[in-house]
Amino acid sequence: MGTLFLRRLTRWQAETEREQIVDLRIAAHQESHPEAAPPDRAELLRAFIDQDVQRPDFDLVLAGDPRPAGCAYGFRAEPDDSWWSGFRERPDELPALAGTRTVFVVATLVVHPRRRRQGLAGRLQRELLSRAGAPLALALLTPDNGQGQATAQALGWSKAGQLTPRDGVPLDAWSVPLGQRG
């Protein structure tokens, strides 16, 4: 395996790399959840292009060798942002954590199985959050994602509550003050 290079992508570049980014997410999911059906590729592509990339202040970091080995992306969400309306339940402490300031939502942080346990998740997180411009980062993980929760803890995140999407099961909300990145 060669040297990994991290590069920040513009919206346009992210859209051109969408197939590889979705393939990376599917490979990481299948490794973490071998008993589960693979995620719907078309749905992941649609959500990435129609929702994530379109968010204000979308930011993406891609690691490659030159094949994609990992990526992290997210966006800023104000306390009164429409992003929050996608949840029917959220603990009062999450908006209080954000106060009148912004929250950077880490929508995805994935590392290809062949590149795990090499510190890549931490590198991706540091690079992504280095320009977040918000005092707090938030990530949502399914309660059964033990590997994701262990990684979050190792990177300095702590459980901040739970959000219940209008169309799904509750998600554990993890946060990290951006002055204490892992």
Q: How confident is the model at residue 74, as a pLDDT?
A: 92
Q: How confident is the model at residue 182, as a pLDDT?
A: 45
User: Low-confidence residues of the chain, pLDDT below 70?
Assistant: 1-2, 30, 32-34, 88-101, 179-182
Please state, in angstroms and rounded to a whole number, the distance separating the CA atoms of residues 25 and 18. 11
Sheet strands (E) in 32-123 = 59-64, 68-77, 87-89, 103-111
Q: How confident is the model at residue 83, as a pLDDT?
A: 74
Please state, in angstroms and rounded to a whole number, the distance separating the CA atoms of residues 166 and 149. 23
Q: How confident is the model at residue 127, as a pLDDT?
A: 93
Q: How confident is the model at residue 93, as a pLDDT?
A: 58
Q: Where along the chain do its domains lie?
A: 5-180
Q: How confident is the model at residue 30, as a pLDDT?
A: 67
DSSP state for residue 80 in the 8-state scheme: T
Q: How confident is the model at residue 27, as a pLDDT?
A: 82
Tokens 């592509």 correspond to: 45
CATH class given for the domain over 5-180: alpha beta
Q: Which residues contact 33 (CB under 8 A, 6 or more apart)?
A: none
Please state, in angstroms and rounded to a whole number, the distance separating the CA atoms of residues 127 and 61. 7
pTM for this model (two decimals): 0.84
Q: How confident is the model at residue 124, as a pLDDT?
A: 92
